[in-house]
Amino acid sequence: MPAGLPRLFAVASAAAATAAAAANTNSASNTEESHSFSKGDFFPSRYAELPRARLLPGKSSSQPAGLSLASVSVLMRHGARTPLHKVPGYLGDQFRWPTDVAYQLAEMDGVQMQLYDPLHPGSQPSLMRPHRQYLLGGAQPGSLTRLGQADMIRLGQRLRRDYRQLVNDNLRKHKEDYGGWLYCRSTSILRCVQSLQCVLAGLLLDAQPGESLEASAAPATVRVAIRSLIDEDLFPNFRTVPELQNLNLANASALLSRLDGYLATRQQLANAFGIPSYGGRASPMPSWNETQKPRENFVPLYFARDDLSARLAHGSTLPGPVAKLCPTLDRLCALELLTEEMGPCEIWEEALPYCIGTWVHTLASNVNRLASGRGDHHRFELYSSHDSMLLPVLLALGFDPRSDISWPPFGSAIVFEFYTNDNGSSAGATASQERIWCRVLYQDRAVQLPGCQSEFAPLSVLSDRFFRLARPREGFVEASQAAGRELNSWYREHGLTHLEPWPYDADSTGADGERDAKRA
């Protein structure tokens, strides 16, 4: 493996799941039982020694003297939607989703989007629309609802309010040439594209009282970059090395069995649903997820949370025993998904570059253009994504997964603010970083980054913790294959499901050309 390469990674695809899952010997009767792999705690002891980020109660309404806001980047989860999964038992058929729940709000008509694939010029992006199955009431699963649309419009209005001067200055300067200052990207999932359209409507078309900006009243035509699924990095995506997530899925139940309260919560949820056990053939979990197949050997808790959170967002009430479990589910489900994305908790820090590294590289590239002083940086960036992206980004920023990371709500946003420092330098920073400062917000609250005493910090602080994860696209697949070899070795050494041989080694296929998933 190349010198200096971080050790591990895993994530996102499901091509070899059948073989890997078959090797996992759990069945409906033993899904909740203890596993042979039970050595140690879920979190390694070194986690207690790491400096951590802290979410402050609010945020300062003004920046320190000498700092001038130069750029804002927003990573957001799409708005409220219909569920992708359906809870089992009596509760599964107690909520209806009428067809009109996802009708488009008129405000969205004020923004026209020109979609393009930045990696394949001249190619028209293909959007992934909700499946043609229908929920009770007629709506389709995974659809952005009118409530979700309204929430995302309000997010855009909040961004307009918070960054009024930056937005208005660029509207005046560039008129209707939004590409001169605004960069927009979305995944190809329709609800993300629509959520971005709503945010743009709130950001560009909602002039503040008393303002008379010509651009704010005009229909907005905005270019939006959308990559194909194979190239996407706005969620952890390793479709070119699918075996990695398949290994994590096959070993998820064993890994999570070490997590305090996890198995007990699964049984408590099963009791609340009126079923013998949660997951498995005895209590299947219908799924319409665009990227995940229904699982019979091990059903994650977040499948149930998906349905419950969608109902709560749209005004439903839950039975007392289920409602009582929701805060616990928010935390445990976040750890579930991080495990599926990056494998055992022992290597999460090393896995982060291969989970979010290419997107971090995109963000860092814009900051480098700002630091260079050339003036060709984006003044405003909007990235419309998913909960599966926000979770590892929160981990990368330094939040403690033992206590401070929960499932990101619909419409949640991580905001990166970058400032030029007109007062000089900060000790220990490089020449290009001395003049750049930053602030990070989550859910409209300031983040105190690890090692900082304030919500405002020199760029070197973010670089040491976050931008060090950046990885260019070039050579990424080969590096991923090499890192995956180490992950496979980790599973082998700990007696868990692994592949023999690792498929990307030379002469890795057997006489029949097939690869086998094995348990040591």
89-118 residue pLDDT tens: 788 888 999 999 999 998 888 899 999 999
Between CA 6 and CA 442 the distance in angstroms is 27
Give mean pLDDT, residues 314-343.
95
Range 69-89 average pLDDT: 94
- Does residue 200 share a domain with residue 94? yes
Q: What pLDDT is recorded for position 424? A: 55
Among 57, 104, 56, which residue's Cα sits nearest to residue 79?
104
Instruction: Please indicate, yes or no, if residue 77 is contained in any of the structural domains.
Output: yes
Is residue 59 a contact partner of residue 308, using CB atoms and an 8 Å limit? no
Give the confidence band of 297 by pLDDT, cuts at 50, 70, 90: low
Q: Are residues 205 and 280 in the same domain?
A: no
Q: What angle separates helix 387-397 from helix 348-372, to the nearest 10 degrees?
A: 80
Which of 25, 71, 53 is closest to 495 using CA atoms?
25
> Residue 466 falls within a domain, yes or no?
no
Verify that 81 and 193 share a domain, yes or no.
yes
419 and 441 co-located in one domain = yes
Q: What was the pLDDT predicted at 277?
A: 84
Q: Are residues 172 and 211 in the same domain?
A: yes
146-176 pLDDT, tens digit per residue, is: 999 999 999 999 999 999 999 999 999 988 7
H/E run at residue 146: helix 146-162
Answer yes or no: is 469 within a domain: no
Tens-place pLDDT, residues 477-516: 888 888 889 899 999 999 999 998 888 876 554 333 344 5
> Is the Cβ–Cβ distance between 335 and 401 less than 8 Å?
yes
Mean pLDDT of 363-388: 95
pLDDT of residue 507: 53
Q: For tokens 């994504």, what's the residue? A: 385
248 and 215 share one domain = no
> Residue 406 is part of a domain; what is its CATH number?
3.40.50.1240
Tell me, yes or no, if the pTM score tops 0.85: yes
Predicted pLDDT at 506: 63
For 27-32, what is the mean pLDDT?
A: 31
Task: State the CB neighbour count (10 A cutoff) for residue 124.
Answer: 10
The reported pLDDT for the residue numbered 428 is: 42
pLDDT for the residue numbered 31: 32
Question: What integer pLDDT is reported at residue 309 of this predicted model?
Answer: 97
Q: Is the pLDDT of residue 283 over 80?
A: no
Confidence band of 458 (pLDDT split at 50, 70, 90)? very high
Give the mean pLDDT of the chain.
83
Contacts of 365 (CB under 8 A, 6+ apart): none
Q: Which pLDDT score, from 0 to 100, does residue 213 have? A: 38
Look at residue 512 in the predicted model and tell me its pLDDT: 35
Give the number of domains in the chain.
Answer: 2
Q: What pLDDT score does 241 carry?
A: 83
pLDDT, residue 218, reads 54
**In terms of DSSP bridges, do strands 67-77 and 380-385 run parallel, antiparallel, or are they unpaired?**
parallel
Q: Rounded to whole angstroms, how far apart are CA atoms 287 and 83?
A: 9
Q: Tell me, yes or no, whether 166 lies in a domain.
A: yes
What's the CA gap between 341 and 128, in Å, rounded? 21
Q: Average pLDDT for residues 303-321, to the nearest whole number?
A: 95
- Tell how many helices (H) and how many strands (E) occur in the chain: 14, 12
Same domain, 98 and 160: yes
The whole-angstrom separation of Cα 189 and Cα 227 is: 11
Residue 259: inside a domain: yes
Region for 165 from its dihedrals, namely left if φ exceeds 0, alpha if ψ lies in -120 to 50, beta otherwise: alpha
Instruction: Give the structural domain span for 427.
Output: 67-234+358-450
pLDDT bucket at 132, cuts 50 / 70 / 90:
confident
Same domain flag for 371 and 384: yes
For the chain, give the longest Cα–Cα distance: 76
Instruction: Say yes or no: 157 and 216 in one domain.
Output: yes
- How distant is the alpha carbon of residue 294 from its chain centre? 21
Task: Tell me the Cα Rg of the chain.
Answer: 23
pLDDT digits (tens, 9 = 90+) for 390-427: 999 999 999 999 999 999 999 999 999 999 998 754 44
Contact (CB, 8 A) for 72 and 379 = yes
Q: Which token pair is 207?
A: 């002039």
The verdict on residue 21 lying in a domain is no
Q: Which band of pLDDT confidence, cut at 50, 70 and 90, is reported for residue 134?
A: confident
Residue environment code for 376-387, b if the CB has 16+ CB neighbours within 10 A, otherwise e = ebbbbbbbbbbb
